């Protein structure tokens, strides 16, 4: 199969032939139809996060099932599916207590004694995020995908596989935003826009979008923001406090910077919660005034929106099909696999919400 292969940080990905195995007992072979280009992929391409290479990146995908292993019960050939990197085993303590996104059981991966799912130039190839989606096919554990209704456009369904689930899930599950509460979202990329949309679905009373780009703030209004703040020349913490007369109930950091994570915590009202969704560089230390903890304020992280994706994703699809979840406006460009490096160049500029790699039928 053709795949975009990452070799070394700072170098463009190359389109090459990669071998893919046949499904094991609990595995699913998927014909990839669409993959979103996410900042998490860019972090590896630019060397901010280490990963063994060569490797196929990509983790925000949708496709059609081609074949399944003999013990697979969740999907069948012909099913339209969305994949998810938070693959779960179903029997560890996290899974049994409803925390599927925290599962790290090795049971969902092939052992070292087995043939690898992917091979490059006749050598085993690591699989990125249990998926490796920048390729014509994916071979995954059955608990890394979920079937969805067939009338859902797959280029939009792909976005649900990471960014949309992460943003809405942080609102619904991690923070548990209640109707009438006030929300601030820092960063209006794909995840931030999804958090805004999720806050609107949750019934938040006031939703404040914060970004450096006016174009993204305009887009944020489309997704449900009631107020916008340009971070170019504004003290955003003061602006949020002035708008809400003391701070917000919930702040969501969707960029992954030290400064914005600290701002999210500082703009809270007493008893408020700041949820860091963005991928902060490992080793970075946050400066938090401990006195604010005595005001009942909380700072927390969110792993893939604390999702239960086999339940969440079909519901998000239904939200889209009924006009409640906005995905059309999130796609800035549709590209071919051969244009993958263009997508990363555009992502570095930070001006687009999402580019999607689309495979021909």
Q: Is 94 a catalytic residue?
A: no
> Under a CB-based contact definition with an 8 Å cutoff, are residues 47 and 33 in contact?
no
Task: State the Cα torsion 243-203-327-144 to the nearest 10°.
Answer: 120
Ramachandran area for residue 160 (φ above 0: left; ψ -120 to 50: alpha; else beta): alpha
Check residue 290 and report its DSSP letter.
H
Closest listed residue to residue 38, CA positions, set 352, 266, 307:
352
CATH superfamily of 2-161+306-358: Medium-chain alcohol dehydrogenases, catalytic domain (3.90.180.10)
In the chain, alpha helices (H) = 39-45, 93-96, 154-159, 165-169, 190-202, 214-223, 236-244, 258-266, 290-293, 309-321, 340-349
Residue 186's H or E segment, with its range, is strand 182-186
Active site residue: 59, 141, 173, 250, which one? 59
Architecture of domain 176-301: 3-Layer(aba) Sandwich (3.40)
Domain with CATH 3.40.50.720 in the chain: 176-301
Q: What is the pTM of this model?
A: 0.95
Domain with CATH 3.90.180.10 in the chain: 2-161+306-358
pLDDT value at residue 361: 67
Active site residue: 26, 39, 43, 250, which one? 43
Active site residue: 7, 19, 26, 40, which one? 40
Active site residue: 84, 95, 103, 162, which one? 162
pLDDT along the chain (361 residues), means of 10: 96 97 98 94 88 96 98 98 97 96 95 94 94 98 98 98 97 98 96 97 98 95 98 96 98 96 98 96 91 95 97 98 96 95 89 86 67
Q: How far is CA 105 from the centre of its chain?
A: 20
174/168 Cα distance (integer angstroms):
9
Q: Is 162 a catalytic residue?
A: yes
> Under a CB-based contact definition with an 8 Å cutoff, are residues 108 and 87 in contact?
yes
Q: Is 254 a catalytic residue?
A: no
């Amino acid at each position: 199969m053709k795949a975009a292969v990452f070799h070394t940080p700072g170098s463009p990905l190359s389109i090459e032939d990669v071998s893919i195995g046949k499904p094991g007992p609990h595995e699913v072979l998927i014909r990839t139809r669409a993959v979103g280009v996410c900042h998490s992929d860019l972090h590896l391409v630019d060397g901010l996060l280490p990963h063994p290479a060569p490797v196929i990146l990509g983790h925000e995908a949708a496709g059609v099932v081609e074949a399944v292993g003999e013990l697979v019960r969740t999907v069948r050939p012909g099913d339209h599916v969305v994949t998810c990197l938070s693959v779960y085993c179903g029997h560890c303590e996290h899974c049994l207590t409803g925390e599927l996104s925290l599962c790290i059981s090795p049971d969902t991966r092939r052992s070292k004694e087995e043939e690898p799912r992917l091979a490059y130039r006749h050598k085993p190839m690591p699989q990125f995020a249990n998926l490796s989606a920048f390729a014509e096919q994916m071979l995954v554990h059955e608990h890394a995908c979920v079937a969805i209704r067939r009338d859902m456009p797959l280029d939009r369904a792909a976005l649900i596989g990471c960014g949309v689930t992460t943003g809405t899930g942080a609102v619904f599950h991690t923070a548990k935003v209640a109707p009438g509460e006030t929300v601030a979202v820092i960063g209006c990329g794909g995840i931030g826009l999804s958090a805004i949309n999720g806050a609107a679905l949750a019934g938040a009373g006031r939703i404040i979008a914060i970004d450096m780009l006016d174009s993204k703030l305009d887009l944020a209004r489309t997704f449900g923001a009631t107020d916008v703040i340009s971070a170019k020349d504004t003290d955003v913490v003061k602006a949020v406090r002035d708008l809400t007369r003391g701070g917000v109930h919930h702040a969501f950091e969707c960029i992954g910077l030290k400064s914005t994570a600290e701002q999210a915590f500082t703009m809270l009202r007493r008893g408020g919660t700041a949820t860091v969704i963005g991928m902060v560089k490992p080793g970075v230390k946050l400066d938090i005034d401990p006195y604010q903890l005595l005001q009942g304020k909380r700072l927390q992280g969110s792993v893939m929106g604390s999702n239960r994706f086999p339940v969440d994703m079909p519901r998000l699809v239904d939200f889209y099909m009924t006009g409640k979840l906005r995905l059309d406006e999130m796609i800035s460009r549709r590209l071919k696999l051969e244009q993958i490096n263009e997508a990363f160049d555009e992502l570095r500029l930070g001006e687009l919400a999402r580019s999607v790699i689309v495979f021909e039928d």
